[in-house]
Amino acid sequence: MKASRIAAAGALAASAVLALSVPAFAHVTVQPEGTAAKGGYAVVDFRVPNERDNASTTKLEVSFPAEHPLTSALPVPVDGWKIKVDKATLDKPIESHGEKITEAVSKITWTAEGKGIEPGYLQKFPVSIGQLPEDADELVFKAIQTYSNKEVVRWIEVPQKGQEEPESPAPVLALSAAEDDHHGASGSTDAAEDASGDAEAAAQNTASEDSGDSSDTTARVLGIVGIVIGAAGVAYGVLAGRRRTTA
C-alpha cells in the first residue's frame, strides 16, 4: 500500500511538472546552434510551435533589433516555405572588415507554400547571423505568428529581469562571452587537435595490426617447421621398425 501511494504521488508530481513546463515551450523562441558569442557569428533557430488545434501556422515575421543592427543574416532554406529578407538603411554606417556598411537586415518573413505548421507540430527556421554586438548581453527579436484562420499572435513583449514573464514574450537570444577568434579559430584548433589525435590512434592501431600480422606469420612458420620435424620423426621410426623386423 505504501509503495502504491508513493508511486501515485510521484506520478501526480511528474504530471504537475509537465503541466507547468508546457507553457514555457509554447512561445516562439530563438536558440543558438552551439554558442552565440559576442563579436562573432552564429547560427540560430527560430522555433515556432503551433498552439492551435484547429488551424496551421502559415507565416512568421521576425524583426531584427535596430539598436544592435546585424549586417549579415542568411536564412537556411526550409522545405515548403518562401523566405523574404528585408533590409533598412542605417542612420550611421558600420565599419566591418575594413568596409563601411550602410544597411542591415530589418526583418525576415517565412510564408508557407503548403499546409504550414499543422496542429501538434513545431518548426525550426535556421538563420546565420552576425556580426553579433560586443556591448550587449542579449538580442531581442520581435515576432509575429499568423495562422490559417487569419488569427495573428504578436510575440513582442520584452521580458524584464526580476519580473514575471509577459503573456506574449518576444524571442530573446542570450550572448555568451567573446571568444579569442570571432570566426571560430579556437573551434578549428580543437578540430585539428581531434584530427591529430585520431591520426595518432590510427597509426597505433596500424602498428598493432602489423605487429599482430608479424606474430601470426612467425607462428605459422614455426607450426610448419614443427609438422615437418614431426613427420620426419614418424618416418624415421617406421624405417627403424622395418630394419628390426628384417633383422
Contacts of 190 (CB under 8 A, 6+ apart): none
**How far is it, in rounded angstroms, from Cα 119 to Cα 121?**
6
For residue 134, what are the contacts with CB-CB under 8 A and spacing of at least 6? 38, 39, 178
Split at pLDDT 50, 70, 90, the class of 62 is: very high
pLDDT at residue 9 is higher than 60: no
- Whole-angstrom Cα distance, residue 117 to residue 227? 75
How many whole angstroms from its chain centre is CA 142? Answer: 24
Full-model pTM: 0.63
Closest CA to 41 of 173, 139, 132, 174: 132
Q: What is the pLDDT of residues 115-164, one digit of tens each?
A: 999 999 999 999 999 999 999 999 999 999 999 999 999 999 998 888 89
Q: Which of 163, 175, 78, 168 is nearest to 117 (CA)?
A: 78
For residues 177 and 157, give the distance between their C-alpha atoms in angstroms, rounded to a whole number: 26
pLDDT exceeds 80 at position 226: no
Residues 27/169, Cβ–Cβ less than 8 Å = yes
d(CA 134, CA 38): 5
